Amino acid sequence: NAGVTQTPKFQVLKTGQSMTLQCAQDMNHNSMYWYRQDPGMGLRLIYYSASEGTTDKGEVPNGYNVSRLNKREFSLRLESAAPSQTSVYFCASSEEPNSPLHFGNGTRLTVT
């Protein structure tokens, strides 16, 4: 029972480089989310997808793009990484918006 799987676990980028964070869930959930977690600030929503084929901005979307590739997969792309994007990124999913969230183990990203 894998749940929510994120890759990679760790990543170091130089300023201006691009990368894609991958997320897949095997629970047949409709909704998927990308959060970032910074010390002392809690988790903040970057983007979410309420269902396959739809995506919407969250609280902090600037500098990011997302793709809901199919029902299982939801990727997050940084086109031109900045030091302010150094953070821990979490993907989550839920059966519907009013259901419990299930989280992956996170991707620790450092931008130098």
Partner 1 sequence: KQEVTQIPAALSVPEGENLVLNCSFTDSAIYNLQWFRQDPGKGLTSLLLIQSSQREQTSGRLNASLDKSSGRSTLYIAASQPGDSATYLCAVRGVNNNDMRFGAGTRLTVKP
Instruction: Say how many residues touch partner 1, by CB under 8 A.
Output: 27
Question: What x-and-dash track marks residues 48-87 binding partner 1 by CB under 8 A?
Answer: x-x-----x-xx----------------------------
Residue from 1, 42, 53, 62 in contact with partner 1 (CB under 8 A): 42
Closest CA to 22 of 87, 91, 79: 91
Interface with partner 1, residue 100, by CB under 8 A? yes
Query: What letter does residue 85 receive in the DSSP assignment?
Result: G
Three-class SS of residue 98? Answer: coil
Residue with Cβ nearer partner 1 (19 or 50): 50
Contacts of 29 by beta carbon, 8 Å cutoff, 6+ apart: 71, 93, 94, 95, 99, 102
Residue with Cβ nearer partner 1 (80 or 110): 110
Shortest CB 54 distance to partner 1, Å: 10
Tokens (6 digits) for 91 = 């993907």
Contact status, residue 84 vs residue 17, Cβ threshold 8 Å:
no
| Interface with partner 1 (CB under 8 A) | 4, 31, 33, 35, 40-45, 48, 50, 56, 58-59, 90, 92, 97-106
